[in-house]
Structure 1
């Protein structure tokens, strides 16, 4: 049976799991990585820390498993970029994280081309995606070497190859959604026309071999983290949707083999390219979820995320929160948005603020679910959920209440690497169907809506008003 080492290189941690052919987890290691938050919207990571975390977490997981691995796979952050020397592999810049907003000026310069970019790529012109940050690096840091997403750099260190997967490439703003190829005109638009770019590979492709974790084994099944979770949660049919509650919250819905564009400002991108066929998805983002919880920790409202449910009030007593601590994504696309609390009085305490933040995260997820349903032309019947914050019953119940759909919680905290495991199995065994490569699962917990429809609508209307007021104040500055 095939045993896979899967690495999930994320924003705040790198996780490595060893999974055997029957889906049993034999080894697990997780190491923190620490983004640096700068004034002016900058968010950076030390590339060496990222690479070391991949190597060390992988080696620890393999040592814990005590077995020979047959392959290595990796899921990556998706839109984090850096400059590096392809000859030596040395980084030439810090990694610019997907949350970084410093390339907003470049997006403003190209605003007149926004419709053309959206029609070609399926994406909204925003600093969240790769190309604006790549252009910002070229203007402000270095003209040397190559500038790519972080996966290309890490995979180069593992295998010597210069590649990126189809799902990651589709998050760049310079890739055609329909045929998943780099678009030269868009590259020129971002002043990236002379760049040497990695080869775009399928998600079920073996891209090289590595001896970094013992033995000499193939590397394949590369994918973006959110798409990996979509796969792990068996969202294999158009209309299936999941939301991952990590550093941010990300709601993705499978749209099948159609490269449809959103009419609601959602991102449309590649879910995976497997067996010669491309599956697409709609994608909506909440920029701050666990990062908002960490902010509450720093302020002393809670000691750890495990305290959320015990601290949160039963009723917010009129307090609302727009947790736009890193701006707002779809449908607003306002990187300048700031967080706000409204409805506070002298009786407001930390317990009300904690509940208001959780309800604010849930309100954004509910909004995304509504937008996805509109684009799909059918309502979501259930929403699958994964990630660390699914441990909060208060948050999960708030999502069910505000979205008015049942929530099925994935039974493992490791959906992303398990999705990558499925793709690695497909890469190593061409006779295996994708459906057979994904392990079956049953929800650990399900949440049914408790609020009546009218209560959910009333809350959503008040919360929408708080967002509008926040954006109006920002626009007047």
Structure 2
């Protein structure tokens, strides 16, 4: 058997590893949880040692279960998360500052004079969500020495000894010139960063070799996680969109062979950079989705995310309760890092089941917010929304999404679209071939009226406005 890919999806709260054959068969899979620490409001960190251990352990478990030698290793990364490390030894010199961390708001506040120019250069608003403000925040605390990079560069250095990142990941940093997909000297200077810059590689390029999972094999097909899912969902044409529901929810819409500078609050990014083909997308984010359900568990309203349907489907409505899921601030299209979440309309009739159902509705409503922004930018809505991620196993969430959108939703047949996308890119890097097209997903049609959807969205938008105002008090 040839063309065996070990595809690793290193995400915020877990690392998934799939061993995938060239015919698309998933031979084995493994998942290792990654602890995320939020000791204070706005602080979201992870232990770099835990990130690396999760990559090695998940990959080795999957390879052992598959009982085959792999031919290439591919890696998807979590995007805007950063850390400091020693390039001579590879040792971390800071915690991993996760993409949800808002402490770099102070960097953004003092850099407002450069905000418009940075957006012109990179397409991104000046916000602590992105990598460069976090890098500046870390550099202010660590002084000189070492390097500060996104997590993919450090993990790939651990695996291969190389110092690289890809253009899709770099386009989420505020340091890449959006038009040329090359590093912007001016953006680096405006942030006052003189870090060594990783070499930019294509998403179908072999970047080095590793012995971490057995015999020495090439490493290739590296990309940021959401673009990997866009690729896996076959959103290859202008206007096609997908949403991945994981720790957060991420809506990406293909904008073809040129970047579209959003007037509605979305962010343009490189979708993929392949040999002979570069594509762009518009990106929108809901910062807390799976993490909102974990929060429900932590406060005792759910035993775990797997109980979402068992609890939420015991009632038919939310008893008038509305939930705004901005527990780690608002990203696109509002860009209010200080925003907080909350329940509105609480009353004596509201039970645990109503609150759980309200959380589902709030998540789905915020995704509608992103679809509406994409529609405003592109002049039309996607013909259907393709969805993936572990939370798409929830009948309740997916049906609410279709009902609020008043449009069909296609649920991917396999929930691990990110890992399958990076597997396909890894196979392309190693062999020049692609995995077969995935099985068709399940189409979920709206089951509620347009009037119901408009009423729910109107109430949710009122609650969102109240929540945004609260954070400004």
Please give the range of the TM-score, normalised by the shorter of the 2 chains.
over 0.9
Q: Indicate the larger mover: 460-469 or 14-23.
A: 460-469
Q: Is the CA contact 2:23–2:435 (under 8 Å) kept in the aligned structure 1?
A: no
* Map of 1:461 onto structure 2: 458
Partner of residue 451, structure 1: 448
Q: Who is 2:24 aligned against?
A: 23
TM-superposed CA distance for 1:212, in Å, is 0.8
- CA distance in 2: counterparts of 1:67 and 1:330, whole angstroms: 43
Helix, strand or coil for the counterpart of 1:231? Answer: helix
**CA positional deviation for 1:267:** 0.9
Q: Distance in 2 between matches of 1:437 and 1:30?
A: 22
Further displaced range: 458-467 or 225-234: 458-467
Alpha-carbon distance in structure 1 between the residues aligned to 2:436 and 2:189: 40
Give the whole-Å Cα distance in 1 for the aligned partners of 2:455 and 2:113.
Answer: 37
Cα shift readout 1:285-306 (whole Å, capped 9, x = no counterpart): 0001000000101111111212
Per-residue deviation, residues 54-97 of structure 1 (Å, max 9, x unmatched): 11111111111111111000000011100111111111111100
Partner of 2:246: 246
Partners in 2 of 1:302 and 1:142 — Cα distance? 43
1:441 aligns with 2:442: no
Report the CA distance between 1:112 and its aligned residue.
2.7
1:105 aligns with 2:106: yes
CA distance in 2, matches of 1:239, 1:378: 8
Cα displacement (A) at 1:454: 2.1
The answer to whether 1:325 aligns with 2:344 is: no
- Deviations 1:80-124 (CA, angstroms, capped at 9, x unpaired): 100111111111111100000000011111223222212211112
Q: Contact 2:319–2:349 at 8 Å: present in 1 too?
A: no
Q: Report the CA distance between 1:349 and its aligned residue.
A: 1.2
CA distance in 1, matches of 2:36, 2:206: 31
Paired with 1:207 and 1:330, the residues of 2 have a C-alpha distance of 32
Contact 2:329–2:338 (8 Å) recurs in 1? yes
Aligned residue in 2 for 1:173: 174
* Aligned-pair CA distance for 1:438: 5.5
TM-aligned CA deviation for residue 142 of structure 1: 4.2
Q: Which residue of 1 aligns with 2:391?
A: 389
Q: How does 1:56-455 map to 2 (within 5 A)?
A: 56-192=57-193, 194-312=194-312, 313-430=315-432, 432=433, 436-437=434-435, 439-443=437-441, 445-455=442-452
3-state SS in 2 of match to 1:422:
helix
1:36 alignment counterpart? 37
SS at match of 2:338: coil
* 1:76 and 1:150 in contact (8 A); partners too: yes
Normalising by structure 2, what TM-score? 0.97
CA distance in 1, matches of 2:113, 2:398: 40
Asked if structure 2 preserves the Cα contact closer than 8 Å seen for 1:284 and 1:329, the reply is yes
Query: Unaligned regions of 5+ residues in structure 1, if any?
Result: none
Of residues 330-339 and 359-368 in structure 1, the stretch that sits farther from structure 2 once superposed is 330-339
- Post-superposition offset of 1:208: 0.5
1:11 corresponds to which residue? 12
Rounded to whole Å, the distance in 1 between the matches of 2:211 and 2:403 is: 49
Structure 1: distance between partners of 2:161 and 2:127: 31
Instruction: Kindly report the root-mean-square deviation, in angstroms, between the aligned alpha carbons of the 2 structures.
Output: 1.1
Contact preservation (8 Å) 2:24, 2:435:
no
Q: Please, what TM-score do these two structures have when normalized by structure 1?
A: 0.97
In structure 2, how many angstroms separate the alpha carbons of the residues matched to 1:462 and 1:300? 26
Q: Is the 8 A contact 2:230 2:252 kept in 1?
A: yes
Distance 1:452 1:197 in 2: 52
| Structure 1 contact 238–256 (Cα < 8 Å) conserved | yes
Q: Larger deviation: 249-258 or 109-118?
A: 109-118
Separation (CA, whole Å) in 1 of partners of 2:409 and 2:127: 30
Gaps in structure 2 of 5+ consecutive residues: none
Query: Are the aligned partners of 1:92 and 1:142 in contact in 2 as well (CA < 8 Å)?
Result: no
1:351-370 per-position Cα deviation (integer Å, ceiling 9, x unaligned): 11111111000000011111
- Residue correspondences, number: 470
- 2-side partners of 1:276 and 1:85: how far apart? 35
Q: Distance between the aligned counterparts of 1:320 and 1:180, measured in 2? A: 41
Deviations 1:413-461, CA, capped at 9 Å, x for gaps: 211110001111211134x4xxx44533211x32111222222112211
Q: 1:200 aligns to what SS in structure 2?
A: strand
SS of the residue 2:183 aligns to: coil
Distance of 1:144 and 1:366 partners within structure 2: 44
Aligned-pair distance for 1:154? 0.5
Deviates more, 1:41-50 or 1:451-460: 451-460
Distance in 2, Cα, partners of 1:10 & 1:281: 20
